[in-house]
Chains A and B, each alone.
Chain A
Amino acid sequence: MVHKVLVIEDEELLNRQLCDMLETAGYEAVGSLDGVNALLAFKSFNPDLVLLDIQLPPTSGIEVCKEIRALSGVPVIMLTAKTDDEDVVAGLEAGADDYIFKPMPSFKVLQARIEARLRPKPKPEVNELVIGPLVIDVLGHEVRRDGVRIALTPLEFNLLQTLAEAPKQVFKREDLLKKVWGYHYDADTRLVNVHVQRLRSKIEDDPDNPKIVVTERGVGYKAGQF
């Protein structure tokens, strides 16, 4: 199956270069040069993954990311030349699953990140998981709370599923990076922090006082005990 990648990057040459390389690597790639066209392209092209430049005129990449998230849970990887913490965190909070700095170490690294996002989860052992008030339908990729469906991105779903599958285990941030993001090297643990926050804001009664995804101080996260 050929995966479709939408490249949203205002720098024309870089956009074309990325598309060329993605196509050479066996993807179907479409480039978009600004935020407005990007959303139209997103709707018509229906990509499996989005590469998104954060500094995008006229609307910023962060806005585009939020709009894409409103439409779908498709994996979004931010491309950013800004290495400051606030920029990275702002992008992740807008709903990006992952980020990569410009210039990336190599195209291979970028490709590895894309693959990690597109890799299908191994077949689950159970069909349904329960943490407290949440019912996780693993096959149907759905989460219900008191019968009401909660919209999670695939990444958030994976995160919740990983925690729920081993309810007694405390996961270190590095472990989660490996299991959920598919990283096998030292990466930024802020990815985990930001996504746990986003997940909590969707599933918890009181995100400031979480019961379902519990922080184990100095170690990591685990599923809450009910």
Chain B
Amino acid sequence: MFARIFSNIIGAFRRSIQLRYVTMTVALSAVALVAVGGFLSISIGNGLFQTRVQQILQESRRAAVDVQNTFNSSGATDVVSLQVLVNSVVPNLEQNSASGSRRVALLRTPNQATDQFLQSPISTTLADSDIPLSLRTKVAKTENRLIYRTVNLLVAGVNQPTVIVGSKMSIPVAGQYELYLVYDISDTQATLDFMQNTLAFGGIIMILLLGIVAYFVTGRIVAPVEKAAEVAEALAQGSLDKRLPERGQDIVATLARSFNKMAQSLETQIGELSKLSKMQQRFVSDVSHELRTPLTTIKLAAEMLEARSSELDDKAKRSLDTLISQVARFESLLSDLLEISRYDAGAVTAEIENNDLKTVVQLAVAGLEPLAESLGCELKVKAPKAEVMADLDRRRIERVLRNLISNAIEHGAGKPIVIEVGQSKTAVAVTITDFGVGMSRNQMDRVFDRFWRADPARKRTTGGTGLGLAISLEDTHLHHGWLQVTSKQNQGTTFRITLPKKKDGIFTESPLPLGETLSQRKIE
């Protein structure tokens, strides 16, 4: 859960340059503000506190001196009048404070030679234990100086910042005492807190404002870049007429102008190329059509001669055979050229129907049996018992299979050809394996190239046009399928065609392995 949120945030950061800059601005200004605010708060706090302490010390000194003088000058020596005097000290000092309430304690220094006979007066809200022992020890040892300590006292359940000032008193007859004045400085603390809160609040507002400013500023800069990215993407997808708006004279406008110039020249050149390519396709198509009529005439004339071949001598007959076979080759070359030009023009649509691939394979095999027999090679078909149904254009797939099988027969050196049919949940496949001369790596790479022949000098028994595999590949791609080859020199070649079962279906693996039949045969 958290991991997902985290990765979402990371993702957003990666994607948005604006988010990154805003965050960076906010973070840096937060650090700066915390530093400045901290310094201000500490120094103001110190100042406030020191002033207050000085004031307290002054007050305390006066009080201490007053109290000492009162004792010194009283001349009282009996316990009762001394006790009265001592008791008057606390209410007196409680009232005579210049800076709000203060509490008072007059405590006898412990461990003296004489006994204690006076009660130690103390403010009602104060307890002996509120005065820290360490302070008491220090006060007891220090002459003519005020000792102070800052502590937190619990008053009515609330911690109160407090300054306790202590000084030594000597009371005639009664011995050594310590006078403690306890000042509540929570008003100073409140002032300090208020100031700190104000600073913090101001700081947060400042950071938010900076964030908003950064957002708008970066937005102004990032927006044209984002627009450019969007248009570049559209161009890459093929919308060549997309352009950037050109406004102003700044660097962004320059970028837009250069970008548009680039897009324009791209559009012009691609348009030019596609026009050329269309012209070329058109030309190929026209040529194949124009050649058809004279070819028909030649063909019919040859047929007429053939009907009378008994009247010809052997040499003339041979010439006639040559004429007929070459006209046939010329014709298949023309129709292949036309087919390729149709593919190039993107003018091909498949007539897809649900068919049993096994039937298509059987048809293709049946058509090639005579050729296989004449070359003394056997066609072995291995297919599953069940139907192998798939959405395909029967005519085109039969043509692909016929082409692959006749290639295998041609290059199979008279050895058996193995044709396997397979299916999975998502795909169907046929492999065609011959155990003939095979191909080298280089030959394999070029096998689907137009007009390429493995052996330029080979016997053209089947009148191949050099376009067969190129057309087969186009036919396969029309079905969103694969046509693949593997081959080993002097061992043989396997072609595998894999097609999705359902039209526009997706498959990731062919039901049949490529090249296994080839290696199995080797072991045999």
Contact pick for A24, options B297, B301, B304, CB 8 Å: B304
> Is B293 in contact with A11, judged by CB distance below 8 angstroms?
yes
Residues of B within 8 A of A104 (CB): 296
Residues of A within 8 A of B292 (CB): 81, 101-103
A208 within 8 A of B: no
A44 within 8 A of B: no
> Is B300 in contact with A14, judged by CB distance below 8 angstroms?
yes
Instruction: Evaluate whether A21 and B300 lie within 8 angstroms (CB atoms) in the complex, with A81-B292, A84-B347 already known.
Output: yes
Bound CA span A13–B293, Å: 10
B299 within 8 A of A: yes
Residues of A within 8 A of B307 (CB): 24
> Is A82 in contact with B297, judged by CB distance below 8 angstroms?
no
Nearest to A186 among chain B residues (CB) is B395
Question: How many residues of A are in contact with the other chain, CB < 8 A?
Answer: 18
Most buried by B among A20, A101, A102: A102
Most buried by A among B289, B301, B304, B347: B289
- In chain A, positions 40-91 with a C-beta closer than 8 Å to chain B are 81-84
Bitwise, B277-298 to A at CB < 8 A (1) or not (0) is 0000000000001101111110
Nearest to B297 among chain A residues (CB) is A14
> Is A102 in contact with B296, judged by CB distance below 8 angstroms?
yes
Bitwise, A169-187 to B at CB < 8 A (1) or not (0) is 0000000000000000000
Nearest to B298 among chain A residues (CB) is A103
> Is A17 in contact with B301, judged by CB distance below 8 angstroms?
yes
Instruction: Evaluate whether A18 and B294 lie within 8 angstroms (CB atoms) in the complex, with A82-B289, A103-B331 already known.
Output: no
Residues of A within 8 A of B67 (CB): none
- In chain A, positions 135-184 with a C-beta closer than 8 Å to chain B are none
Bitwise, B324-342 to A at CB < 8 A (1) or not (0) is 0000000100000010000
Give A14 Cβ to nearest chain B Cβ, in Å: 4
- In chain A, positions 1-54 with a C-beta closer than 8 Å to chain B are 11, 13-14, 17-18, 20-21, 24
> Is A102 in contact with B293, judged by CB distance below 8 angstroms?
yes
Nearest to B291 among chain A residues (CB) is A81
> Is B300 in contact with A17, judged by CB distance below 8 angstroms?
yes
A106 within 8 A of B: yes
The 4 closest A-B pairs by CB, nearest first: A81-B292, A103-B296, A14-B297, A102-B296
Binding site for B on A (CB under 8 A): 11, 13-14, 17-18, 20-21, 24, 81-84, 101-104, 106-107
Binding site for A on B (CB under 8 A): 289-290, 292-297, 299-301, 303-304, 307, 331, 338, 347
26 A-B pairs whose Cβ atoms sit less than 8 Å apart in the complex: A11-B293, A13-B294, A13-B297, A14-B296, A17-B300, A17-B301, A18-B300, A20-B304, A21-B300, A21-B304, A24-B307, A81-B289, A81-B293, A81-B296, A82-B289, A101-B292, A102-B292, A102-B293, A102-B295, A102-B296, A103-B296, A103-B331, A104-B296, A106-B299, A107-B300, A107-B303
